[in-house]
Structures are given as structure tokens and as C-alpha cells.
Structure 1
Amino acid sequence: MKSGDSATIDVPDSTASGGATAKGKGVTVVAAPRAGGWNKGVAIFDFILRLCAIVTALAAAAAMGTSDETLPFFTQFFQFQASYDDLPTFQFFVIAMAIVGGYLVLSLPFSIVCIIRTHAAGLRMLLLVLDAMALTLTTAAGAAAAAIVYLAHNGNPNTNWLAICQQFGDFCQKVSGAVVASMVTAVVFVVLVIVSAMALRRT
């Protein structure tokens, strides 16, 4: 190469052999799988939990509402009787658990809608708020009734409150079962709140 001559660099032509222009290759973007299947499974689990909570809540209300026992004596004019309506705490328990059971029944259609429409965030949020309120009511009723049941079983010597469960065995058995059923309902509500929160996070 002589001095003063320009250097030439050969650049490969972008056209393919034969004069045809090479077409750009298409890029296929694979979308990440949506969480619809997971949300649908959670919604089905939510529906099953609500059915279980309906059974336990209504069973608690029915057991407490039918708790009544009369001790047999020689004369019918002198009898000792124990009934749930003798104590305002037990009356509140029956009303509260009946309200919770009614709410759970009314919430079933909304739960079914969440199964069909897995990304209904607004409806899921509504159920979450109402479940939290029902959990509060269930816990309050169950805790109040549990305190009275404890006194019925053990009494309180400091205040001269006698234990009555030795005499009213059937009555105490029913009210104790009602309290246990209410606590099971509260646990189911805790799971429902957690499940709803997880579903909202994935929506």
C-alpha cells in the first residue's frame, strides 16, 4: 500500500445470497403463568371453610339454646332449674352465634362468585372485612360464655359461688359443648381471614 492511498475495509452485506433481503427474526415473549389457578383453589378452600363454620356456629347456638335441665324432687312445686335464659351472657351467646351463622350462610353466594371470578379483589376485600367483624363477635361471645362455664364447673369460694355442674350435669355438658363449638368457629374465621389476605396479595 502506497502512502496517501485510502484504506478500504470490506463490511459484509446484510442481504442474503441471491440478492434477497434477510428478514429479522421475531422474538416470542412467553408470559408468566397467571395465578388464576392458585386463586381458584384458594376460593374453593374458602367456600369449604365457610360450610364448616356454618355447621359449628349453628351447632353452638342450638346447643346453648336448648340447654335446660330441671332437678327431680318429690314435689313439682319445689324444683331447681337451670336454663340458658337465666344468664344474660348465655343469651348474648345464642344471639351472637345465630348472627354469625346467618352471615356465613349469606356469604356463600359471594364465595361462589370468587370461585368463578378469581380476580374479584373488591369482593374479596369485602369478605375479609366482614369475616374480621364476625371473628370479633364470635370471640367475644365465646370468651364471655367460657367464663360462666368455668364458674359453673369450679365455682368461686371467695364470692361463695357454688359449682352447679355436679347437680346439673346435662346442662353443663351442653353449654360446654357450645363454647367449644364457638371456639372452633373462631379458629375457622382466623383461617378465612388469612386465606383472604393471601388471595388479595396474589390478585
Structure 2
Amino acid sequence: MRSGDSTTIDVPESSDVAKGKAPLVAIVKQEQGKGGWKRGVAIFDFLLRLGAIITTLTAASTMGTSDETLPFFTQFFQFQASYDDLPTFQFFVIAMAIVGGYLVLSLPFSIVSIVRPQAVGPRVLLLVLDTVALTLNTSAAAAAAAIVYLAHNGNSNTNWLAICQQYGDFCQKVSGAVVAAFVSVVVFVFLILLSALAIRKP
């Protein structure tokens, strides 16, 4: 061997790199798989919130505009039925407006859950606040449903007279508002279940 010659040994570079890349790709795909179904749940949650906004605000506006005056009246008396004649209906309007406003404010947190499906904080916050909103929504709907039942059927034991034969339009509006409120109750139940599913560990 002459002193001017140099000996080089070729070492394959791709083997170690390839071995190092394979687990990394697998981990990335696994993380994407975990976030995929949670992103789908978050999208469905967002759509349900839009539907709940429509139902709650429809219930509040329908009840708030329920007013009927009978065509016959005297000089001193005018027969009229309005939602503000009953404190229960007033509570219904206020409660449904609060619930609808909360749903609008919850949309950004739902969007965050879509962008970052692995984030647990927004989901836990929505779960707690949805439970509170469900309680308020259910109480308002149940209280109004009791008054609507008396308006349709009356109660002879307490001398409650059925007024829906005279105030047909009024009863139709308040009944529709109560139905819309109970639809939003069902939507809230699904929202709570979705949030509980999303924060569950895979």
C-alpha cells in the first residue's frame, strides 16, 4: 500500500434513517386516527348547537308574541289574553332567551373543539355549562307545560276554567312554544352525551 493512497469504506446511510422514520410515521397516523372521530363529534356538536339556537329563540319569540283579544268587549271590559298575564310564561321567555344567548356564546368553544379535537378543557367547560342550561331549559318548559295543560283542560277541583275554546290562537302559540322548548331539551341531552364521549380516554 502506498502512502498516497486512501482507503474509504462506504456505509449505507438509508438503513438507520428508514428505521427511525417508520415509528414516527406510525405515531403520527395513530394520533390522526384518534383525533378524526373526535373532530367528527365536534362538528356534530356544532350543528346541534345551531339547531338548539333556532328552537330556543323560536320558543322565546313565539311565547313573547302570544297575545289575543276577543272580538266582543264592552265599554269597561276588554277580554284579552297575553303571556305577561302569567308569571310562569314571563319566566319562560326570560329563561329561553338566556339559554339561547348562552348557546350563541358557546359556538366559539365548539369551534375550538373542531380545530383542536384533542383539547379537553373546552369540552369540560361545555359539559358543565350545558348541564346548567339544560336544568334551566327543563324547568321553564315544564312550568309552562303545566299552565298550558290547565288552559286546554282546566281543573274543576280548583275552579280553573279551560280558556282555549275562547282563546284559540293564544293557546296555539303557547303550545308551540312549549313544544319547541322540549325539543331543545332533547338537543341538550345529546350535547351532554357528545361532550362526555369526547372527553373519554380512547
1:195 matched to 2:191? The reply is: no
Letter in 1 for 2:114: I
Deviations 1:6-32 (A, max 9, x none): xxxxxxxxxxxxxxxxx99x5954447
SS in structure 1 of the partner of residue 200 of structure 2:
helix
Which structure has the bigger radius of gyration? 1
In the aligned structure 2, how far is the partner of 1:77 from the partner of 1:202?
Answer: 69
Summarize deviations over 1:102-130 as a string: whole Å, max 9, x none: 00001111111111011110111000000
Tell me what 2:132 maps to.
133
Q: Give the structure with the higher percent helix.
A: 2
Does structure 1 conserve the Cα–Cα contact (< 8 Å) formed by 2:62 and 2:176?
yes
Contact 2:138–2:185 (Cα < 8 Å) also in 1:
yes
3-state DSSP class of the match of 2:135? helix
How many residue pairs match? The answer is 182
Q: Tell whether 2:142 aligns with 1:182.
A: no
Shift in alpha-carbon separation, 1:201–1:61, aligned structure 2, 3 A:
same
Aligned amino acid, residue 33 of structure 1:
Q
Deviation at 1:74, TM superposition (A): 5.1
TM-superposed CA distance for 1:76, in Å, is: 5.3
Alignment of 1:1-203 (within 5 A): 29=23, 30-31=26-27, 33-34=30-31, 35-73=34-72, 75=74, 77-202=76-201
Task: Say which SS state the counterpart of residue 33 (structure 1) adopts.
Answer: helix
Instruction: Tell me if structure 1 keeps the 8 A contact 2:73–2:79.
Output: no
Question: Helix, strand or coil: the match of 2:101?
Answer: helix
TM-score normalised over the length of structure 1 = 0.84
CA shift for structure 1 position 33: 2.1
* Cα offsets for 1:164-186 (capped at 9, x unmatched): 00000000000000000000000
Aligned residue for 2:9? none
Post-superposition offset of 1:75: 3.7
Q: Is the 8 A contact 1:39 1:202 kept in 2?
A: no
Unaligned regions of 5+ residues in structure 1, if any? 1-22
